[in-house]
Amino acid sequence: MKSFDVPVHYRSPLVTAIKLKRKGEDKMKKDYTPTVLQLGDLQVLLARHFGFCYGVENAIEIAFRAVAENPGKRIFLLSEMIHNPGVNADLLALGIKFIMDTKGNMLIDWDKLKSDDVVIIPAFGTTIELEEKLRSIGIDPTHYETTCPFVEKVWNRAEKIGDDGYTVVVHGKPGHEETRATFSHSKAHTHTVVVKDMEQAQLLGRYITGELPVTGFPEDFKGQYSHGFDPAKDLQRIGVVNQTTMLASETQAIADYLKQLIITHYQTTPDKASERFADTRDTLCYATNDNQTAVQGMLEREADIALVIGGYNSSNTSHLVELCEQKLPTYFINDEHCLLSAKLIRHFDLHAHMEKETTGFLPVHKPLRVMITSGASCPDALVERVIERLAVITGNEQAATVIKEQWEI
């Protein structure tokens, strides 16, 4: 796979050494057991796969290149480059300005932009409507476009489904930049509706079977369907794609549910299901799949707590948190500064949608066993700093130094 030129301060000598060793031992990526780091009486179980993915490194390289190639010019990001506060802060420090926030709210009016400005499209991609808006100003949105190729793969899949006469059902978070972009590209070819979870998929199913009158559809799926969508007609033939960072098991469950519902409702046989349900393969990106599978492999071991590192608005990271929460106490943290002491941690509560502090997060017994993973937009250097901070607050700082020496850092 291509290597990217990203700032060295995002790299970690320790994590790089670990990843290279694991890759050399497991070229086919069949071993999802964690890497075990013994730091005195602290045992760190590091997920087999985590951190920067292809799309993120590609986006960072392009963004920093845009700055280097355009001295004196105004440079804008359409929205956050990726969902990592540290990386976005670095870009802001370089003078890059955000045109809108992650929800699509304008931070800079369109009339403030000029044709000679540089606008970078983030890794999530953007809508056809916004691309056309930039072109109307005289700005080429493709010159510094960082859209992840795996996101574009979903767009291509949706286009193929639409061209074959199916309506597209997108499994994704309706307000997420990637889902908004995928919805825009899909509806350009066919009628499209977004479902955020299994509950909404089941609600959609009740419209497919006619259990619910179509008059309720506009309210139940407000802002999540294409113009002119007719549930009675457009749900007769469907196909499912997804936001690339969703939970793989949930996407598969939604697709399986809708397929079986179609088979039952139209009294067809499984071998003829393709007449009503498009044969779509999973559209998660490789990194999302690898990271989620690595967490599942890590959870087969015993541990006291799990730390998941990443931006609080990162979709792929939040699903790693959800997986870990199924087995043990899990803390979603931004960086090493969230580890305030051996007794106090600052973390994000996914369910309450707020940051909070928790006391007594580390058990008092020894040895301690802590699982660690991170999202696809989290720099490896941040993971190393969390390990170092964990070693400090548990009294294992010297052992952490020895570990680095063992890995020939």
**Residues with catalytic function:** 178
Sheet containing 75-77, strands listed edge to edge, beginning at the edge strand earlier in sequence? 97-98, 75-77, 118-120
Residue type, 154: V
Distance (Å, rounded) from C-alpha 213 to C-alpha 216? 6
d(Cα 119, Cα 96) in Å, to the nearest integer?
A: 9
| Structural contact between residues 280 and 210, judged by C-beta atoms closer than 8 angstroms | no
Q: Which residues pair with 241 in a beta bridge?
A: 170
- Per-position b or e across 337-370, b if 16+ CB within 10 A of its CB: ebbeebeebbbbebeeeeeeeeeebbeeeeebbb
CA gap 77, 242 in Å, rounded: 25
End-to-end CA distance of the chain: 24
Query: Nearest to residue 239, comparing CAs of 275, 213, 212?
Result: 275
Distances (CA, A) of 257 to 240, 243, 295: 11, 18, 25
According to DSSP, the residues that pair with 346 across neighbouring strands are 357
In single-letter form, the type of residue at position 240 comes to V
